[in-house]
């Protein structure tokens, strides 16, 4: 017996038949005596359809109004699931973001949850109701509707679980759990029974598509027990754990890759104080996020400066840097948008040396050229040529002993 | 300069191009210096599509959840119009029913407005914003989403106009205004420049499709100046006036017809006290509305009793009355669902005699048989054979001098 928050993603509620299956799963847990709060995404594809509708209405949809529009997606699935649960004879009730008192800041389209008051949720759950909450949405302190950004329903779920002090938060998706690598790329990838929040954070930020990054931050901060499971089978899935709980961990837990970035290099930049600000301020002013930055000092007071930006901002960033280069007297600007970032991740790295050298050696053995390197406490990332990304994942998966036993 | 509430119906916001046209009309009035509050319906067809979705989800959708689902229709158009107005450079903002504080009772699917607080609407309007309110929806005192029933956006608009003490409420639709008869049936029908609320109430309840009946009640009660106009041209439309304002009115203002009812007759009912209750209580218990009732006393302590019910409830009502007839010892039950109700309406009737006889004579002259008759202070209705309904409308239109001059 306990309070369970269950989140079902877009593919799990993609059509009427799947919503019925979700209802059956919810009902099963309810019948076992648990208290159940369900968080739903929109049907898969619906959010994109709504964005497309807004773009047909106007080239630059107002962000506040876009959120009002997008919020209909989760409103629809929440109503449909609740009405089906009622037909099945269960005391269900849907609540929208404002009704569940999911209070956010006012960053329309990418709002952050400030507080989940959930008074009505709590009351209904205590009254043995199944509460179905529209995910992805909240409202700001003035009552405006906000949305949490792509994948935000995960964060809705974990934040709700934290607010309710739930016994567990189950994230139902279309995969069995978190894998050591993308199984589509690496056939020997294994499902992880457990993964630390820190590792999950690195994975999420590096392109593993399973969890919304803020949901992991919430889980870490509020110590919410999160399980990632498939809504299409009964497998146990992967449990997110606090890194400290489990000392006997493998050095590396997973390999990720991402093809979302492009690289820009400024050649022969005069190496003067304040030069970095001149290069990166115009990029920041344009709202472009810079990820990796590498500086190679040359002889003669000159330096080469390389950084990565999202591919979607690549052309704009290139244009900005050409102007910057002319202004500061750099020799040239070059770019490359056929790169990929491959990363090895593991909390075990904190206490093990030699991970980096094993990574570089393994890649070199397969003639994979490393273009850039960056590291964190629990991650090493290498930029490689895009066409070598998948090979690099497989090589590293084997090198770090992650391959599934046949 | 004044405060104008403009309501646009489903055909006026049926697609992106039409929403843009609405935006242009709204902007034009705003540019003239008016304060504008817009009330929107869902795109035409959307409410039906959502009802269909719910019915595919379950045969008997929970009414509360159905309202949550249906409310997405107006949420969508409100967001789209507001974002387009913003693109045009106008300070627009959408508000949903709960944000506009449209407080209703909790009769899901057919809620009545109790209060329109509109604090935020008032503040935004005073701040020179164009406020776009999702029509058709409100929330009950506990914050549950409710809808006002088919055509309810008219009522949203008039209630909002009453709350804001607006200078006028303009109902934009796909017809030029209120006609003396349905122009599709009677080619000589004329647009009325003015019509009294009382007449409009009778027309709305008798099948003229222009205004939601509760909106007219609101206009009457709160003395809101309402104009019915087309959103596709610049015609003046029809003004709803308080009946007392205009003494020089024609005796008859309009002819309506409806094919929505069916007739049931109980033959040779024992004429005893309490017998009517025995006949009508089971019908009421089944939630079926009875409209006209006629009792013909026969010789020998027996009576024939005829009444009408909605066609959609006809078979059920017939079944119920067969059981009643057996119980009370009536001879037989007969029914007829190919009938129509034709009505002449006019506040002038209050002070003119001879309307009924002119109606009966005109119909008789064309060999139209009158099956039932009922009257109110400003209306006379006759049930005729369904196939004669259109002819009856044209005959009466001419007989009461309503025909347009060629």
Q: State the ipTM, two decimals.
A: 0.84
d(CA A289, CA A301): 28
Q: A53, B80 in Cβ contact below 8 A?
A: yes
Domain boundaries of chain B, sorted by first residue: 3-174, 244-406
Most confident by average pLDDT, A284-288, B133-137, B271-275: B133-137
The CA-atom distances, in angstroms, between A158 and each of A161, A211, A240, B23, B363 are 5, 11, 12, 40, 72
Report the residue of A21, A54, A69, A144 to disrupt the B interface, i.e. the one with the largest count of B CBs within 10 Å: A69
Return the pLDDT at A207: 65
- Token pair 């509050």: residue: B37
d(CA B109, CA A337): 54
pTM of the model: 0.85
Length of chain B as a residue count? 406
d(CA A179, CA A192): 6
Share of chain B above pLDDT 90, in %: 74
The CA-atom distances, in angstroms, between A295 and each of A270, A304, A322, A341, B112 are 12, 6, 18, 18, 68
pLDDT one-digit tens code per residue, B22-42: 999 999 999 999 999 999 999
d(CA B258, CA B392): 12
pLDDT at B248 over 70: no
8 Å CB contact of A82 and B93: no
Q: A198, A347 in Cβ contact below 8 A?
A: yes
Report the SS3 class of residue B375: strand
For the beta carbon of residue B13, count every other beta carbon within 10 angstroms: 27
pLDDT at B247 over 60: no
Return the pLDDT at B73: 98
Report the SS3 class of residue A107: coil
Report the residue of A83, A86, A92, A124 to disrupt the B interface, i.e. the one with the largest count of B CBs within 10 Å: A83
pLDDT one-digit tens code per residue, A151-210: 899 999 999 999 999 999 999 998 889 999 998 899 999 999 999 888 888 887 776 677
DSSP of A291-355, one letter per residue? --EEEEEPSSSEEEEEEEEEGGGHHHHHHHHHHHHHHHT-SEEEEE--EEEEEEE-GGGGG---H
Q: Looking at domain B244-406, which of 3.30.2130.10, 3.90.1150.10, 3.30.1600.10, 3.40.50.1820 is its CATH number?
A: 3.30.2130.10
Strand partners, B40: B8, B134
Mean pLDDT computed over B321-333: 93
Which residues of chain B lie closer than 8 angstroms to A87, CB-CB?
58-62
Q: Closest-CA residue in chain B for A16? A: B57
pLDDT one-digit tens code per residue, A362-404: 999 999 999 999 888 889 999 999 999 999 999 999 999 999 8
Give the lowest-confidence range in A7-21, A293-307, B77-91, B129-143: A293-307
8 Å CB contact of B78 and A68: yes
Which residues of chain B lie closer than 8 angstroms to A99, CB-CB?
143
**Cβ-based neighbours of A157, under 8 Å, separated by 6 or more:** A5, A6, A7, A39, A135, A169, A171, A215
d(CA B73, CA A54): 14
Q: B137, B148 in Cβ contact below 8 A?
A: yes
| Out of A62, A79, A80, closest to residue B83 by CB | A62
pLDDT one-digit tens code per residue, A67-112: 999 999 999 999 999 999 999 999 999 999 999 999 999 999 999 9
Strand partners, A105: none
**B46 and chain A in contact, CB less than 8 A:** no
Structure tokens of A23? 């209802």
pLDDT at A247 over 60: no
Provide the mean pLDDT of chain A.
92
DSSP of A27-54, one letter per residue? HHHHHTT-EEEEEE-PPTTHHHHHHHHH
Return the pLDDT at B245: 55
- The minimum CA-CA distance between B150 and chain A, rounded to whole Å, is 19
Return the pLDDT at B212: 84
Provide the mean pLDDT of chain B.
92
8 Å CB contact of B79 and A93: no
Phi, psi of A244 (to 5 degrees): -75, -20
pLDDT at B261 over 70: yes
DSSP of B58-125, one letter per residue? -SS--HHHHHHHHHHHHHHHHHHHHHHHHHTT--EEEE-TTTTTEEE-S-TTS--EEEE--HHHHHHH
Q: A19, A84 in Cβ contact below 8 A?
A: yes
pLDDT at A299 over 70: yes
Return the pLDDT at B244: 58
pLDDT at B387 over 80: yes
Return the pLDDT at A274: 83
pLDDT at A245 over 70: no
Reported as a pLDDT band with limits 50, 70 and 90, residue A297 is confident
Share of chain A above pLDDT 70, in %: 97
Q: B306, B246 in Cβ contact below 8 A?
A: no
Question: Is it true that domain A3-174 has CATH number 3.40.50.150?
Answer: no
**Interface A:B, Cβ pairs < 8 A:** 104
Reported as a pLDDT band with limits 50, 70 and 90, residue B236 is confident
């Amino acid at each position: 017996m306990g309070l369970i928050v269950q989140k079902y993603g877009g593919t799990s509620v993609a059509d009427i038949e799947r919503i019925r299956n979700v209802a059956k799963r919810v009902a099963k847990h309810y019948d076992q005596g648990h208290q159940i709060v369900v968080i739903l995404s929109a049907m898969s594809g619906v959010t994109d359809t709504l964005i497309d509708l807004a773009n047909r209405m106007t080239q630059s949809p107002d962000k506040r109004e876009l959120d009002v529009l997008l919020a209909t997606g989760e409103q629809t699935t929440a109503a449909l699931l609740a009405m089906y649960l009622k037909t099945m004879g269960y005391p269900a009730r849907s609540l929208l973001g404002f009704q569940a008192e999911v209070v956010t800041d006012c960053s329309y389209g990418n709002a952050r949850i400030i507080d989940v008051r959930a008074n009505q949720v709590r009351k209904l759950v205590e009254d043995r109701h199944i509460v179905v909450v529209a995910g992805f949405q909240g409202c700001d302190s003035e009552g405006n509707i906000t949305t949490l950004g792509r994948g935000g329903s995960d964060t809705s779920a974990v934040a709700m679980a934290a607010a309710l002090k739930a016994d567990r938060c189950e994230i139902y998706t279309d995969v069995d759990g978190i894998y050591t690598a993308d199984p589509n790329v690496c056939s020997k990838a294994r499902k992880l029974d457990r993964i630390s929040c820190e590792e999950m954070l690195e994975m999420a930020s590096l392109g593993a598509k399973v969890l919304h990054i803020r949901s992991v931050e919430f889980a870490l901060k509020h110590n919410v027990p999160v399980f990632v499971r498939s809504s299409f089978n009964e497998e146990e899935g992967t449990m997110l754990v606090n890194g400290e709980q489990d000392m006997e961990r493998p050095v590396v837990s997973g390999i990720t890759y991402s093809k979302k970035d492009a690289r820009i290099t400024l050649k022969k930049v005069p190496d003067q104080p304040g030069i970095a600000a001149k290069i990166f301020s115009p990029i920041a002013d344009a709202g472009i996020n810079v990820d990796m930055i590498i500086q190679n000092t040359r002889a003669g007071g000159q330096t080469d400066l390389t950084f990565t930006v999202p591919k979607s901002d690549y052309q704009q960033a290139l244009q900005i840097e050409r102007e910057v280069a002319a202004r500061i007297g750099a020799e040239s600007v070059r770019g490359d948008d056929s790169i990929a970032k491959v990363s090895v991740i593991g909390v075990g790295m904190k206490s093990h040396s030699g991970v980096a050298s094993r990574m570089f050696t393994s890649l070199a053995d397969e003639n994979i050229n490393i273009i850039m390197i960056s590291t964190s406490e629990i991650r090493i990332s290498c930029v490689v040529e895009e066409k070598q990304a998948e090979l690099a994942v497989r090589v590293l998966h084997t090198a770090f002993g992650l391959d599934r036993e046949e």
